[in-house]
Structure 1
Protein backbone atom coordinates (compact mmCIF):
# COMPACT_ATOMS: atom_id res chain seq x y z
CA UNK A 1 0.00 0.00 0.00
CA UNK A 2 1.36 3.40 -0.97
CA UNK A 3 1.61 5.95 1.82
CA UNK A 4 -0.69 8.94 1.83
CA UNK A 5 1.12 12.27 1.71
CA UNK A 6 -0.31 15.20 3.66
CA UNK A 7 0.00 18.93 3.45
CA UNK A 8 0.21 20.75 6.77
CA UNK A 9 -3.39 21.89 6.24
CA UNK A 10 -4.61 18.33 5.60
CA UNK A 11 -2.82 17.09 8.72
CA UNK A 12 -4.28 19.95 10.78
CA UNK A 13 -7.77 19.05 9.57
CA UNK A 14 -7.42 15.65 11.30
CA UNK A 15 -6.43 16.97 14.72
CA UNK A 16 -9.95 16.96 16.20
CA UNK A 17 -10.48 13.39 15.04
CA UNK A 18 -7.06 12.36 16.39
CA UNK A 19 -7.65 14.04 19.77
CA UNK A 20 -10.94 12.15 20.19
CA UNK A 21 -9.57 8.83 18.97
CA UNK A 22 -6.43 9.01 21.12
CA UNK A 23 -8.56 9.83 24.16
CA UNK A 24 -10.75 6.80 23.43
CA UNK A 25 -7.62 4.63 23.15
CA UNK A 26 -6.27 6.05 26.43
CA UNK A 27 -9.52 5.36 28.30
CA UNK A 28 -9.76 1.84 26.88
CA UNK A 29 -6.12 1.12 27.72
CA UNK A 30 -6.79 2.16 31.32
CA UNK A 31 -9.84 -0.10 31.38
CA UNK A 32 -7.79 -2.92 29.83
CA UNK A 33 -5.09 -2.66 32.52
CA UNK A 34 -7.70 -2.52 35.28
CA UNK A 35 -9.40 -5.63 33.88
CA UNK A 36 -6.06 -7.46 33.74
CA UNK A 37 -5.63 -6.83 37.46
CA UNK A 38 -9.18 -7.94 38.23
CA UNK A 39 -8.72 -11.10 36.18
CA UNK A 40 -5.45 -11.93 37.95
CA UNK A 41 -7.16 -11.63 41.34
CA UNK A 42 -10.16 -13.68 40.24
CA UNK A 43 -7.86 -16.41 38.87
CA UNK A 44 -6.16 -16.65 42.25
CA UNK A 45 -9.51 -16.91 44.03
CA UNK A 46 -10.79 -19.58 41.63
CA UNK A 47 -7.53 -21.56 41.70
CA UNK A 48 -7.44 -21.52 45.50
CA UNK A 49 -10.93 -22.99 45.60
CA UNK A 50 -12.21 -20.30 47.92
CA UNK A 51 -15.87 -20.16 48.85
CA UNK A 52 -18.10 -18.75 46.13
CA UNK A 53 -15.65 -20.10 43.56
CA UNK A 54 -18.46 -20.85 41.11
CA UNK A 55 -19.67 -17.24 41.26
CA UNK A 56 -16.08 -16.09 40.92
CA UNK A 57 -15.62 -18.42 37.94
CA UNK A 58 -18.59 -16.81 36.23
CA UNK A 59 -17.23 -13.34 37.01
CA UNK A 60 -13.81 -14.40 35.71
CA UNK A 61 -15.37 -15.50 32.43
CA UNK A 62 -17.34 -12.24 32.18
CA UNK A 63 -14.25 -10.12 32.85
CA UNK A 64 -12.26 -12.15 30.32
CA UNK A 65 -14.92 -11.51 27.68
CA UNK A 66 -14.99 -7.82 28.60
CA UNK A 67 -11.19 -7.71 28.28
CA UNK A 68 -11.44 -9.15 24.76
CA UNK A 69 -14.08 -6.57 23.85
CA UNK A 70 -11.95 -3.69 25.18
CA UNK A 71 -8.95 -5.05 23.29
CA UNK A 72 -11.04 -5.13 20.11
CA UNK A 73 -12.15 -1.52 20.71
CA UNK A 74 -8.53 -0.42 21.10
CA UNK A 75 -7.54 -2.15 17.87
CA UNK A 76 -10.56 -0.69 16.07
CA UNK A 77 -9.54 2.83 17.16
CA UNK A 78 -5.94 2.20 16.05
CA UNK A 79 -7.24 1.00 12.69
CA UNK A 80 -9.29 4.16 12.20
CA UNK A 81 -6.10 6.19 12.66
CA UNK A 82 -4.20 3.96 10.22
CA UNK A 83 -7.05 4.20 7.71
CA UNK A 84 -6.55 7.96 7.49
CA UNK A 85 -2.94 7.40 6.41
CA UNK A 86 -1.53 8.65 9.72
CA UNK A 87 1.15 6.78 11.64
CA UNK A 88 0.55 6.32 15.37
CA UNK A 89 4.16 6.84 16.48
CA UNK A 90 3.73 6.80 20.26
CA UNK A 91 0.34 5.89 21.64
CA UNK A 92 1.09 6.80 25.25
CA UNK A 93 2.40 10.28 24.41
CA UNK A 94 -0.13 10.75 21.63
CA UNK A 95 2.44 11.28 18.87
CA UNK A 96 1.22 10.98 15.30
CA UNK A 97 3.24 11.27 12.09
CA UNK A 98 2.06 12.16 8.60
CA UNK A 99 4.07 11.53 5.45
CA UNK A 100 4.69 14.82 3.70
CA UNK A 101 6.87 16.46 1.09
CA UNK A 102 8.57 19.60 2.35
CA UNK A 103 11.15 21.42 0.22
CA UNK A 104 11.19 18.48 -2.23
CA UNK A 105 12.08 16.03 0.56
CA UNK A 106 9.92 13.27 2.04
CA UNK A 107 9.55 13.88 5.78
CA UNK A 108 7.16 13.12 8.60
CA UNK A 109 4.99 15.95 9.81
CA UNK A 110 4.80 15.41 13.56
CA UNK A 111 1.94 16.23 15.92
CA UNK A 112 1.52 15.44 19.61
CA UNK A 113 -1.73 15.31 21.59
CA UNK A 114 -2.39 18.68 23.16
CA UNK A 115 -0.82 20.71 20.36
CA UNK A 116 -3.33 22.89 18.54
CA UNK A 117 -1.80 22.23 15.12
CA UNK A 118 1.11 20.60 13.31
CA UNK A 119 4.23 22.67 13.97
CA UNK A 120 7.02 20.10 13.68
CA UNK A 121 8.59 17.64 11.27
CA UNK A 122 10.97 14.69 11.59
CA UNK A 123 13.39 13.20 9.11
CA UNK A 124 12.45 9.86 7.56
CA UNK A 125 16.02 8.80 8.29
CA UNK A 126 15.41 9.43 12.00
CA UNK A 127 12.27 7.31 12.07
CA UNK A 128 13.16 5.83 15.47
CA UNK A 129 14.01 9.21 16.92
CA UNK A 130 11.65 11.54 18.73
CA UNK A 131 13.65 14.60 17.63
CA UNK A 132 11.20 17.06 16.13
CA UNK A 133 12.20 20.20 14.28
CA UNK A 134 9.99 23.28 13.90
CA UNK A 135 8.35 23.75 10.52
CA UNK A 136 9.69 26.74 8.66
CA UNK A 137 7.77 29.80 9.81
CA UNK A 138 6.17 27.99 12.77
CA UNK A 139 7.02 29.12 16.27
CA UNK A 140 8.55 26.38 18.34
CA UNK A 141 6.68 25.51 21.52
Structure 2
Protein backbone atom coordinates (compact mmCIF):
# COMPACT_ATOMS: atom_id res chain seq x y z
CA UNK A 1 0.00 0.00 0.00
CA UNK A 2 1.33 3.42 -0.98
CA UNK A 3 2.10 5.86 1.79
CA UNK A 4 -0.56 8.54 2.26
CA UNK A 5 0.54 12.14 1.97
CA UNK A 6 -1.94 14.74 3.20
CA UNK A 7 -2.79 18.05 1.67
CA UNK A 8 -3.32 20.82 4.20
CA UNK A 9 -7.06 20.75 3.44
CA UNK A 10 -7.30 16.96 3.99
CA UNK A 11 -5.43 17.16 7.30
CA UNK A 12 -7.49 20.13 8.53
CA UNK A 13 -10.74 18.25 7.78
CA UNK A 14 -9.67 15.63 10.35
CA UNK A 15 -9.15 18.16 13.14
CA UNK A 16 -12.72 18.04 14.56
CA UNK A 17 -12.59 14.22 14.70
CA UNK A 18 -9.11 14.26 16.24
CA UNK A 19 -10.07 16.85 18.85
CA UNK A 20 -12.75 14.55 20.22
CA UNK A 21 -10.64 11.40 20.05
CA UNK A 22 -7.55 12.95 21.64
CA UNK A 23 -9.60 14.52 24.46
CA UNK A 24 -11.22 11.14 25.14
CA UNK A 25 -7.81 9.46 25.09
CA UNK A 26 -6.40 12.01 27.54
CA UNK A 27 -9.36 11.47 29.88
CA UNK A 28 -8.90 7.69 29.70
CA UNK A 29 -5.20 8.06 30.46
CA UNK A 30 -5.93 10.23 33.52
CA UNK A 31 -8.54 7.75 34.74
CA UNK A 32 -6.16 4.82 34.16
CA UNK A 33 -3.37 6.54 36.10
CA UNK A 34 -5.69 7.34 39.02
CA UNK A 35 -7.11 3.80 39.17
CA UNK A 36 -3.65 2.24 38.80
CA UNK A 37 -2.34 4.39 41.63
CA UNK A 38 -5.29 3.35 43.82
CA UNK A 39 -4.72 -0.33 43.00
CA UNK A 40 -1.04 -0.02 43.96
CA UNK A 41 -2.07 1.62 47.23
CA UNK A 42 -4.55 -1.20 47.92
CA UNK A 43 -1.91 -3.84 47.24
CA UNK A 44 0.58 -2.13 49.48
CA UNK A 45 -1.94 -1.85 52.33
CA UNK A 46 -3.49 -5.30 51.99
CA UNK A 47 -0.65 -7.16 50.41
CA UNK A 48 -0.83 -8.81 47.02
CA UNK A 49 -0.89 -12.25 48.62
CA UNK A 50 -2.81 -15.25 47.41
CA UNK A 51 -6.55 -15.51 47.79
CA UNK A 52 -7.68 -18.61 49.62
CA UNK A 53 -10.53 -20.82 48.41
CA UNK A 54 -13.92 -19.19 48.88
CA UNK A 55 -12.40 -15.75 49.42
CA UNK A 56 -13.25 -13.00 46.94
CA UNK A 57 -10.27 -11.48 45.12
CA UNK A 58 -10.24 -7.82 46.27
CA UNK A 59 -8.15 -6.82 43.25
CA UNK A 60 -10.32 -8.39 40.55
CA UNK A 61 -12.58 -5.39 39.94
CA UNK A 62 -9.85 -2.72 39.91
CA UNK A 63 -7.70 -4.85 37.60
CA UNK A 64 -10.69 -5.49 35.31
CA UNK A 65 -11.31 -1.73 35.11
CA UNK A 66 -7.70 -1.13 34.11
CA UNK A 67 -8.00 -3.74 31.37
CA UNK A 68 -11.25 -2.18 30.15
CA UNK A 69 -9.64 1.28 30.00
CA UNK A 70 -6.69 -0.14 28.03
CA UNK A 71 -9.03 -1.79 25.53
CA UNK A 72 -10.97 1.45 25.08
CA UNK A 73 -7.76 3.47 24.62
CA UNK A 74 -6.43 0.98 22.04
CA UNK A 75 -9.69 1.40 20.10
CA UNK A 76 -9.26 5.18 19.99
CA UNK A 77 -5.62 4.87 18.95
CA UNK A 78 -6.62 2.41 16.21
CA UNK A 79 -9.29 4.83 14.89
CA UNK A 80 -6.72 7.63 14.77
CA UNK A 81 -4.20 5.43 12.96
CA UNK A 82 -6.85 4.35 10.45
CA UNK A 83 -6.96 7.97 9.24
CA UNK A 84 -3.19 7.57 8.57
CA UNK A 85 -2.48 10.48 10.90
CA UNK A 86 0.28 9.80 13.43
CA UNK A 87 -0.50 10.17 17.13
CA UNK A 88 2.78 11.36 18.63
CA UNK A 89 2.02 12.39 22.23
CA UNK A 90 -1.17 11.80 24.20
CA UNK A 91 -0.42 14.31 26.98
CA UNK A 92 0.37 17.13 24.55
CA UNK A 93 -2.38 16.03 22.17
CA UNK A 94 0.14 15.97 19.34
CA UNK A 95 -0.69 14.55 15.91
CA UNK A 96 1.40 14.62 12.72
CA UNK A 97 0.35 14.18 9.10
CA UNK A 98 2.80 13.01 6.43
CA UNK A 99 2.97 15.52 3.58
CA UNK A 100 5.25 16.72 0.82
CA UNK A 101 6.56 20.27 0.90
CA UNK A 102 8.68 21.48 -2.01
CA UNK A 103 9.33 17.83 -2.88
CA UNK A 104 10.51 16.93 0.64
CA UNK A 105 8.70 14.51 2.94
CA UNK A 106 7.64 16.50 6.01
CA UNK A 107 5.10 16.25 8.80
CA UNK A 108 2.27 18.71 9.20
CA UNK A 109 2.00 19.22 12.93
CA UNK A 110 -1.17 19.82 14.98
CA UNK A 111 -1.59 20.10 18.74
CA UNK A 112 -4.84 19.86 20.69
CA UNK A 113 -6.15 23.37 21.25
CA UNK A 114 -5.10 24.61 17.81
CA UNK A 115 -8.05 25.25 15.50
CA UNK A 116 -6.12 24.20 12.39
CA UNK A 117 -2.69 23.13 11.22
CA UNK A 118 -0.26 26.03 11.20
CA UNK A 119 3.10 24.23 11.56
CA UNK A 120 5.29 21.60 9.95
CA UNK A 121 8.63 19.96 10.65
CA UNK A 122 11.06 17.63 8.90
CA UNK A 123 10.61 13.91 9.57
CA UNK A 124 13.85 13.81 11.57
CA UNK A 125 12.72 16.67 13.80
CA UNK A 126 10.11 16.59 16.48
CA UNK A 127 7.65 19.02 17.96
CA UNK A 128 10.40 21.45 19.00
CA UNK A 129 11.52 21.72 15.37
CA UNK A 130 8.12 23.08 14.31
CA UNK A 131 8.12 25.85 11.75
CA UNK A 132 5.17 28.04 10.79
CA UNK A 133 3.60 27.19 7.45
CA UNK A 134 3.37 30.81 6.47
CA UNK A 135 2.41 30.95 2.80
CA UNK A 136 3.81 27.50 2.05
CA UNK A 137 1.36 24.85 0.92
CA UNK A 138 2.05 21.11 0.88
CA UNK A 139 2.44 19.58 -2.56
CA UNK A 140 -0.72 18.09 -4.04
Normalized against structure 2, the TM-score is what? 0.84
Look up the match of 1:88: 87
Gaps of 5+ in 2: 50-54
Q: Distance in 2 between matches of 1:129 and 1:137?
A: 20
SS class of match (2:19): helix
Look up the match of 2:39: 39
Alignment of 1:15-30 (within 5 A): 15-30=15-30
Look up the match of 1:63: 62
Change (3 A) 1:28 1:22: same
Q: Distance in 2 between matches of 1:96 and 1:74?
A: 16
Look up the match of 2:52: none
4+ residue runs of structure 1 moved beyond 4 angstroms?
none
Q: 1:113 Cα shift? A: 0.6
Q: Distance in 2 between matches of 1:39 and 1:77?
A: 24
Greater fraction helix: 1
Change (3 A) 1:28 1:97: same
Q: 1:3 Cα shift? A: 2.6
Look up the match of 1:124: 123
Q: 1:136 Cα shift? A: 3.0
Q: 1:122 Cα shift? A: 0.4
Normalized against structure 1, the TM-score is what? 0.84
SS class of match (2:128): coil
Q: Distance in 1 between matches of 2:40 and 2:23?
A: 26
Cα deviation, 1:45-88, whole Å, max 9, x if unaligned, reads: 43288xxxx56x33x21010010000111111111111100111
